[in-house]
Amino acid sequence: MKEKKIDEKTKKGRMIMWAFIYSGVFIAALIIGVVSKFVQPSWTKDFTAEWSDSVGTVYKDITYGEKDANKFDLYVPADNTKENYGLVVYLHAGGFTAGDKSGDEQILKWLCSKGYIAAGINYTLRDEAHPEASVYSQSMEIKESMPAVIAEAEKLGYHIDEMSIGGGSAGHCLAMLYAYRDEETSPVPVKMVFGAVGPSSFYPEDWKCYGFDKETEESRAAAAGLFSVMAGKEISPDMFGTPEYDEAIKDISALLWIDENTVPSVLAYGKFDKVQSFEASVRLDKALTEHNVPHEYIACEHSGHGLQNDNKEFLLHNQKMEEYLDKYMPVK
């Protein structure tokens, strides 16, 4: 009995330790994102809009759930005469621990200027006030927000009959989960997903950026600790490499939902990413290819999490995003 208590105490301590590391490492993703907004290449002007009432209207902080963070902003085009509209959701970055929908005004206004309904959605961040929040709980909040977003647009006179979803970093992870995992239960069909540097799978051997590939008792315990925090459930080291592990981690692993019906995807990753696993993105590209899913996988050979050293590839990502939107969800 005493031995069991020590075991439980050790597990609890490990979880607390990785909660701190989780917050510290992933908050770096937010810092990278903030810095990148101040150092923008000249081509970003092609993905911005001169905003005025003649372009559209923004409705801010609309509630979709009971939690404090359950709010979204809705951008609707000035032209409200069309029978149907496509919705594009963009989810903010911040390493699951920080960030806000207000940081994505530029892309949301641009999407609205193209004729789409655009929405930025907040979700409960993992912080001191919400230590229970996880990637899974955040993904479920996004799933639960969609009927409210569509209903609000309808109330304003815009009927939505299809949607696409994207995001950066944490937002990209959550966007893939919605597009791959939740598409069948979406209130409207999901046509495509886009984004950059979002975690997509959680095999320790891929997470070289944290040393989880070392195959030692310590590295396996560390991987189990971090993935437990992210999944919101206990992952033990002896689960790795088993079907039981895939089943346990599937709720937050976009990779494990890919099949021949997966929606078209545009994704970009940095080869020197120290925040999340680049190797996992290679696995993601392979799965999309094997299932014949139309997709663009853009590897930034000289960049880390911010894709800061590959302007040509980052531009290509944005161009492909626009190309896929025009192809799979054209403005009517």
DSSP string, 156-174: TT--EEEEEEEEETHHHHH
pLDDT the model gives residue 15: 47
Per residue in 138-167, pLDDT (tens digit) is 999 999 999 999 999 999 999 999 999 999
Give the tens place of pLDDT for each residue, 16-40: 444 444 445 554 544 444 444 445 7
119 close to 91: Cβ distance less than 8 angstroms: no
pLDDT (0 to 100) of residue 32: 47
pLDDT value for 42: 84
Q: Which two tokens stand for residue 291?
A: 């299932």
- The CA–CA distances, whole Å, from 174 to 6, 66, 199 equal 36, 20, 9
List Cα–Cα distances, 241 to 24, 59, 217, in angstroms. 28, 47, 14
88 forms beta bridges with: 118, 164
The three-class DSSP label of residue 258 is: coil
- pTM (whole model) above 0.85: yes
What residues of the chain score a pLDDT lower than 50? 1-6, 12-23, 27, 29-38
- Residue 138 tokens read as 């955040």
Check residue 36 and give its pLDDT: 47
Q: How much is the pLDDT for 40?
A: 72
CB-based burial of residue 85 (10 Å sphere; 0-12 exposed, 13-18 middle, 19+ buried)? buried
The C-alpha angle with vertex 295 and arms to 293 and 296, in degrees rounded to 5, equals 160
Residue 163, beta-bridge partner list? 87, 190
In this prediction, residue 162 carries a pLDDT of 98
Choose the CATH number for 2-328 among 1.10.510.10, 3.40.50.1820, 1.10.268.10, 3.40.640.10: 3.40.50.1820
pLDDT at residue 31 in the model: 47
